[in-house]
Structure 1
């Protein structure tokens, strides 16, 4: 399936954030609200295979051009890339650092996948986090959910596994901090990311129980047991069933 035109950059004041969204027509810049411009790109400039948005270092221009325009000649692909970079610069955000040989993201740019990945790593390492960092926002989305190229599918699954683990950890942290509403929110996000994942349902059940609500916890178990049987013909683990038995009157 061919790549679709994407909206490439949001130039909010602090910090700038990259967004990807289907748009038309390409090549047009539009003001949405104060301090924000969005530029229309002819392709996913910021997301070639393991591209700028997913990569920590600048990439060679020929590599990016070849990934975006694999059927074009080398000269045509290079010309397309120059045009795309020029269009991106017109929005005023200056999101790229460009040299004659490489392209990379500017240090002032933030990218949702990078933010989510960094948060997941810090949760995994039990690093201290501020209240503003302890949010599910950067862990509650799939990477390019309507794209089906092989590299996207692999990157999407890798990020999904990372963020589900992180959401479970976040749920546990919120329970330990007695912020049960946020714990339930994180647990629900983990379940939504992988409805057949038992550990996600257990984390959500633990959040319900911690705030003194056995009814929703039992209902969550019943929902999971039914879904697991319908989809895979399986039963919940003995651990999960033991937990549920203790909730029944």
Structure 2
């Protein structure tokens, strides 16, 4: 995990970790859920909505939210969360690794790019609906970024790097053709026809079993060449 550049730091890629002034702070369940919602969303929520998200079936949600905010102030000062009369929000200057990663996917990627954040899923053990939606969006973004990076590495002759990146992309969505085609192309570039063919055949079998369709004509033409 990289050194956090800010006094307050939230890691949501992989496991959830909260740092304040360089020290890890373990949050109870409901304070953690509120912080996670803010970290993976717009970083600001109306108090009414925050209370309803945490306790959808109770008449005392607003009072419980006040207690959660008190817990957060006690544990983190105001380095992570700030609360106004109408809204709760991440404190100014809080570093969220997901924000850093999303900036990375929109930048040009070169062969020396540190792409370790792109290999990390978003809170994979969480079953929160908002986290699931954010995870699906993050997976789409990082899959496309990893494909671009693998193409770049392959074009510049870094075959092993292209294989490594394509392998991580493949793990995000095993039925997406792009990573499989890149993996086959990289193996063809090192004259390993057997492995390239095995990549194609395994993908074709999975695709037929799960969706009842064939790989694209472009993928088939790649193997014929």
Please state which band the TM-score falls in when normalised by the shorter chain: 0.7 to 0.9
Indicate the RMSD between aligned Cα atoms, in angstroms.
Answer: 3.4
Matched, 1:191 2:167: no
1:116-135 to 2 correspondences below 5 Å:
116-122=101-107, 127=108, 131=112, 134-135=113-114
Q: Shift in Å at residue 188 of structure 1?
A: 0.5
CA distance in 2, matches of 1:212, 1:87: 61
What residue in structure 2 maps to residue 4 of structure 1? Answer: none
Q: Structure 1 pair 178/60, CA: closer, same or farther in 2 (3 Å)?
A: same
Q: Determine if the alignment matches structure 1 residue 182 to structure 2 residue 173.
A: no
> How far did 1:140 drift?
2.2
Residues 173 and 89 (structure 1 numbering): CA distance in 2 closer, same or farther, change over 3 Å?
Answer: same
| 1:60 correspondence with 2:46 | yes
Aligned residue for 2:70?
Answer: 83
* TM-score, L = length of structure 1: 0.72
Structure-2 change in CA distance of 1:130 and 1:214 (3 Å): closer
Give the alignment partner of residue 47 of structure 1, picking from 12, 36, 41.
Answer: 36
Taking the aligned partners of 2:81 and 2:104, their CA distance within structure 1 comes to 23
- Residues paired across the two proteins, number: 219
**Once the 2 structures are TM-superposed, how far is the Cα of residue 99 of structure 1 from its aligned partner?**
4.2
One of 144, 156, 167 as aligned partner of 2:123: 144
Which structure has the highest helix share of the two? 2
Report the Cα offset of residue 80 of structure 1: 2.9
Match of 1:113 in 2: 98
- Unaligned stretches of 5+ in structure 1? 1-9, 24-28
In structure 2, the CA distance between the partners of 1:239 and 1:166, relative to structure 1 (3 Å rule), is same
- Deviations 1:4-25, CA, capped at 9 Å, x for gaps: xxxxxx99553564235489xx
Query: So what's the TM-score if we normalise by structure 2?
Result: 0.78
5+ residue gaps, structure 2, are: none
Instruction: Compare relative contact order (CA 8 Å, sep 6+) and give the higher one, 1 or 2.
Output: 2
Hey, what does 1:221 align to over in structure 2?
200
Residues 75-107 of structure 1 deviation map (CA, whole Å, 9 limit, x = unaligned): 3233233234224416xx923344454433345
Q: Tell me: CA distance 1:22–1:168, structure 2 relative to 1, closer, same or farther (3 Å).
A: closer
CA change 1:235–1:129 in 2 (3 A) is closer
Find the residue that maps to 1:119 and give its secondary structure. Answer: helix
